Chains A and B, each alone.
Chain A
Amino acid sequence: MPDLEEMPVLSVRGLNVRFGRNSIPAVSNVSFDVGRERIGIVGESGSGKSTTGRAIMRLLPQRAGVTAERMDFLGSPLLEKTERQMGALRGKDIALIMQDPRYSLNPVLTIGKQVAEAAKLHLGVGGKAAVAHARDMLARVRINDPDRVLSLYPHQISGGMGQRVMIAMMLLARPKLVIADEPTSALDVSVRKDVLTLLDELVRENNSGLILISHDIRMVAAFCERILVMYSGRVVETLSKLEDAAHPYTRGLIAAMPDPKHPVRRLKVLDRKSIEVETNP
């Protein structure tokens, strides 16, 4: 039995995702390892970053062809698991936090019911104990007055609070791997930082791996040790610092962001032709 603490949480080699038979691949030949660390996946819409996250969770529809030389979670291949085994894994060992809490929370159940359900399912505790777990977890994500929030419905809380509830629900079972898909893009700037710091703190505490998927390269750079830059389904570059960016797409992406400290009259736009040349030599 290999040492579980030493080996990477997730190891992906040559991941390909294709929708339909003769279509262009949405993700092609993506390889990376996630240890007990925070890695970021950055790219524009349609670059395949979310599809990669969903392929790991095996949440893509049937018609999506997912193949990989290797996609191991703690040493066991994810692609060989049955749907039933995946069901036991999802939420308990691998958690996915999605973009908008308004869509990922059930609108007709109270927050308490939903968070307690996660406790019942993954911790195997019953009624009262599950609610107690839910209350503790809400307090842990710095929600003031968790007893009141337990009885509220999703439409009665703000977006930032909703995303905290999602984090509470997803991290309750102390998953080994957390995939956060644009966790803050539906939120206000002023609460974005709080939510990210909270997520970072809890992931460190549980000693889990985090994959942060976002289009905001600056934000990802501030939170992650490594950044994978994706463009049209491929990983074009892996960075540890923004300053090291060498690929024209990454440099273009950084130059396209307005920076108040270095004002320019016109922003740089991406030169897609030169990127294509560089990506498909």
Chain B
Amino acid sequence: MIKVENLDVVYGSKDKSNHVVRGVSFAVSRGEALGIVGESGCGKSTVLRSLAGLEGAWTGSISFDGKPVGKVRTRDELKLAQMVFQDPYGSLHPRHRIGTALAEPIRSMGAGDGWTRVAEALQQVGLPAHFAGRFPHELSGGQRQRVAIARALILSPPILLLDEPTSALDVSIQAEVLNLLADQREERNLTFILVSHDLSVISHMCDRVLVMQNGVFVDELTKADLQAGVTHASYSHELFDASFL
């Protein structure tokens, strides 16, 4: 479903350049959930942003569903992958009602005004349809993140890119959002890439985990490895140690 080869991202130029992602390659098959874990600044979010088409400075090749995509995406390419961001307080326009926010992707894809699908989209993520008339500040953090998920799913993309979807939420609310994501994945046969620094969330959601450090992958762990606590690199061992006190 997703194939990335030699992805390289450099910010700045010449002596001030910052090599964030250093030639990473990976593939994700349809319906699989891949996790990328690492500390801040290791380049994990940049990989995700390049996949979503938000990053302009990458080299290498990215292909969705066998078709290579470029830096500037067509509408059809954008419909393939949608993203959910970390902070539900920052990712919703404070002066747009929830309904407007949900209809926006449909309008920007030129597929009608989108209003007819708002109620259904809200119900799918477990929110009442009358929330369409509310503003983001009238919702709790967990409800906002549900709206962000509904907005990503409204175009029915086969791929969902999740950037720390629950790190701004309480443990109890995190469980609800993770369950919602797992249900939607099963229902729609979605392909996930989940980026997080929380190994327990990653190992709950993902079939395979890549450990990233300084722009390269240093380790790959399967679900069985995570359960048994097996690691193949000293860095992932450290990360394991720190995550489970």
Contact = CB atoms under 8 A, between A and B. Distances in A.
Interface of A: 44-45, 159, 188-193, 196, 215-219, 222-223, 252-253, 256-261, 263-270
Interface stretch (B45-53, B105-113, B170-178): B170-178
B223 interface: yes
A263 B245 CA distance: 18
Contacts of B198: 189
B91 interface: no
A193 B197 CA distance: 14
Interface stretch (B23-31, B127-135, B199-207): B199-207
Scoring A257, A266, A267 by chain B CB atoms within 10 A of each residue's CB, the highest score goes to: A267
A257 B227 contact: no
Interface stretch (B93-101, B154-162, B236-244): B236-244
B179 interface: yes
Interface string B201-245: 101110000000000000000010011010000000011011111
B40 A263 contact: no
A189 B243 contact: yes
Contacts of B175: 256-258, 267-270
B182 interface: yes
Chain B interface bracket (under 10, 10 to 19, 20 to 34, 35 or more): 20 to 34
A190 B238 contact: yes
Interface of B: 39-40, 141, 170-176, 178-179, 182, 197-201, 203-205, 223, 226-227, 229, 238-239, 241-245
B227 A260 contact: yes
B60 to A, nearest CB: 27
A253 B242 CA distance: 21
Nearest to A252: B172
B117 to A, nearest CB: 27
Contacts of B229: 260-261
The majority secondary structure among interface residues of chain B is helix
B226 A260 contact: yes
B172 A263 contact: no
Contacts of B204: 258, 260, 263-264, 267
Contacts of B242: 189-193
B227 A269 contact: no
Contact of A222 (B172, B176, B238, B245): B245
A223 B39 CA distance: 23
Given A188-B39, A215-B170, A257-B171, A263 B241 contact: no
A268 B173 CA distance: 10
A264 B175 CA distance: 12
Contacts of A216: 171
Scoring A188, A196, A223 by chain B CB atoms within 10 A of each residue's CB, the highest score goes to: A188
Given A218-B245, A266-B179, A256 B174 contact: yes
B172 A270 contact: yes
A215 B171 CA distance: 7
Contacts of B197: 188-189
21 contacts: A44-B170, A45-B141, A45-B170, A189-B39, A189-B199, A189-B239, A189-B242, A191-B39, A192-B242, A193-B241, A215-B170, A256-B174, A257-B200, A258-B175, A258-B203, A260-B203, A260-B244, A267-B175, A267-B179, A269-B172, A269-B175
Given A188-B197, A261-B227, A44 B241 contact: no
A45 B89 CA distance: 15
Contacts of A219: 245
Contact of A190 (B39, B172, B174, B200): B39
Contacts of B182: 265-266
Contacts of A159: 40
A252 B174 CA distance: 12
A44 B170 CA distance: 6
